[in-house]
Structure 1
Amino acid sequence: MAYSSDTAKTSRGFVPPQNEEERRLMRRVEELCRVSQERGIPRYTGFLSDREQILATAACHRAGFTNFRFWGGYEGAERKVLCLEPPDTWQEEPLAYLRCTAKGDSLPGHREYLGAILGLGLDRACLGDLLPDPQEPAVFYAIVSADKQSFIATELTSAGRCSVQVAFCDMLPQHLLQGPERTLKEVTIPSLRADAVLAAMMHTSRTRAAEYITAGRVEINHLPLRTAHETVYAQDIFTVRGVGRYQLVEIGGKSRKDRIFISFFQY
């Protein structure tokens, strides 16, 4: 990627809670911080999305609690547990791993496994990432809350049109520990408007990208994108309902034709 020195290196600032659900999350994290600090015991949340992790971090800072980390089972995990762990305290293992093997002609994918597990009556916070094994097409790995491991292993018997056998495992296989490989793509865009960036990532026209936005089908960092002309920033995650997810990884400099270099990948 070519660069020029006149492109500002900016990032999106903290976006405060936008609704009662997000405010409730921050209050809950602050309360967990208080309990952990006063009693000297570890406390853990369920799995959080990247937006929820941002809010949880802000809540920890507001509570003056510094001994926290996020863990999703492997480096690069998307959904992670907030771990509040005061110094010199015992630590729990908040998550567990399950190996799911499907049997049938049409093997289930991420959507089928997600629907099957949530169909057991579990909350989304009980479930972390779901990872296909590229070396074994019939196998998926599920990262789950430790206290739900046995329940899921017993009750999950099918996904999609296939029967499923679930087994406990101590950790992910070595070839999955760094997460899925993603192809980084580089393009140039006329501006950092949301419709221009989205059109480039989706390989479509700006008019079509604007239609997705107007229809309310696009989120940035799990917040609704309201206007096509909103400015976007490096590390922003676009979710297009019915299409997929993209991350704007880096904003570079400008070309001789005054177009902006960006790099991105699709999840």
Structure 2
Amino acid sequence: MASSSDTANAVRGFVPPQNDGERRLMRRVEELCRVAVSRGIPRYTGFLSDREQSLAQAACNKAGCSCIRFWGGFDAAERRVLCIEPPDAWQEEPLAYLQCTAYGNKLPTHRDYLGAILGLGLERSCVGDLLADPEREDTFYAVILADKQEFINAELTGAGHCTVHTACIDALPARLAESRERTLQEATVPSLRADAVLAAMLHTSRTRAAEYIAAGRVEINHLPLKAAHETAYAADIFTVRGVGRFKLAAIGGKSRKDRLFISFYQY
């Protein structure tokens, strides 16, 4: 029988590609690795989600390529570019930054800015994290692919119900990294069943959590959660459509009532 320490240390193993899109991503990364190493030139992907980064890492491992890093513009970035940079190759900066200032009464949200940028005809892989300025409510910062900076700067004139002015900047303000620190919440759960963990995160009943899952509104690590009884692991990211995203930061020991301690935060 597994001990509570075994449970706390358990993490989800690698999940192989689940569809044609994920298999294409892995093949593309393997090819980028081969080109970069054989020609001694750097190669980069677009921005990748957590799930895509896991697949990309597996593809690099399969290709035997270790000269890689993931970079999203700052240390705590969620969306990151895979940088394949052979030794002695010239270095390129794959990312760029925009400062967006809105003018109007109802200021744009993260969703408004993302929709406005993608509405220019760009793919999601062109856009990294979008960050609200903690000191200026009218300002957002966008991490984007370097070769799209000029285009977005010229074409993005509005978001939501507001006029937007953009400016190219060399780096993100240091205060943004400080504002990204998450507030940990703690709870106890009877087990690591997904519905039990999700209920604790949402401060709701397991019945309600199970309804979200049955309705197909829940993903774990960007993959659909198919059943309420599936096991949750440390570092899992729960996405509940229309509600938010949560990360199971840590799993602790057991309480006197034989319940498991968990720590989590909301994005």
CA-to-aligned-CA distance 1:162-197 (integer Å, 9 cap, x gap):
000000100001101356121100100000000000
Contact 1:6 1:253 in 2 (8 A): no
Cα gap change, 1:48/1:187 in structure 2, threshold over 3 Å: closer, same or farther? same
Contact 2:96 2:144 in 1 (8 A): yes
Q: Which residue does 1:113 correspond to in 2?
A: 113
Structure 2: how far apart are the matches of 1:166 and 1:191?
48
Cα gap change, 1:67/1:161 in structure 2, threshold over 3 Å: closer, same or farther? same
Q: Which residue does 1:25 correspond to in 2?
A: 25
Structure 2: how far apart are the matches of 1:175 and 1:254?
37
Superposed counterparts of 1:1-267, under 5 Å: 5=5, 7-178=7-178, 180-267=180-267
Structure 2: how far apart are the matches of 1:226 and 1:98?
39
C-alpha deviation, 1:81, in angstroms: 0.3
Question: Bigger shift: 174-183 or 217-226?
Answer: 174-183
Cα gap change, 1:119/1:29 in structure 2, threshold over 3 Å: closer, same or farther? same
C-alpha deviation, 1:109, in angstroms: 0.8
User: Aligned-pair RMSD on alpha carbons?
Assistant: 1.2
CA-to-aligned-CA distance 1:18-47 (integer Å, 9 cap, x gap):
000000000000000000010000000000
Contact 2:8 2:234 in 1 (8 A): no
Structure 1: how far apart are the matches of 2:231 and 2:196?
10
Structure 2: how far apart are the matches of 1:16 and 1:156?
38
Q: Which amino acid aligns with 2:54?
A: I
In the alignment of these two chains, the number of paired residues is 265
Structure 2: how far apart are the matches of 1:36 and 1:79?
22
Structure 2: how far apart are the matches of 1:8 and 1:146?
41
CA-to-aligned-CA distance 1:78-97 (integer Å, 9 cap, x gap):
00000000001111100000
Say which SS state the counterpart of residue 97 (structure 2) adopts.
strand
Contact 2:97 2:169 in 1 (8 A): yes
Structure 2: how far apart are the matches of 1:179 and 1:39?
41
Structure 2: how far apart are the matches of 1:5 and 1:141?
41
Contact 1:75 1:179 in 2 (8 A): no
Residue identity over aligned pairs, in percent, reads 72
Structure 2 unaligned segments of length 5 or more: list them. none
Structure 1: how far apart are the matches of 2:255 and 2:72?
39
Structure 1: how far apart are the matches of 2:157 and 2:193?
46
Q: Which amino acid aligns with 1:191?
A: S
Structure 1: how far apart are the matches of 2:149 and 2:59?
28
Q: Which amino acid aligns with 2:76?
A: G
Structure 1 unaligned segments of length 5 or more: list them. none
Structure 1: how far apart are the matches of 2:109 and 2:8?
40
Contact 1:75 1:178 in 2 (8 A): no
CA-to-aligned-CA distance 1:59-86 (integer Å, 9 cap, x gap):
0000000000000000110000000000
C-alpha deviation, 1:213, in angstroms: 0.2
Q: Which amino acid aligns with 2:168?
A: F
TM-score (normalizing by structure 2): 0.97
Q: Which runs of 4+ in 1 moved over 3 A?
A: 3-8
TM-score (normalizing by structure 1): 0.97
Contact 1:49 1:79 in 2 (8 A): yes
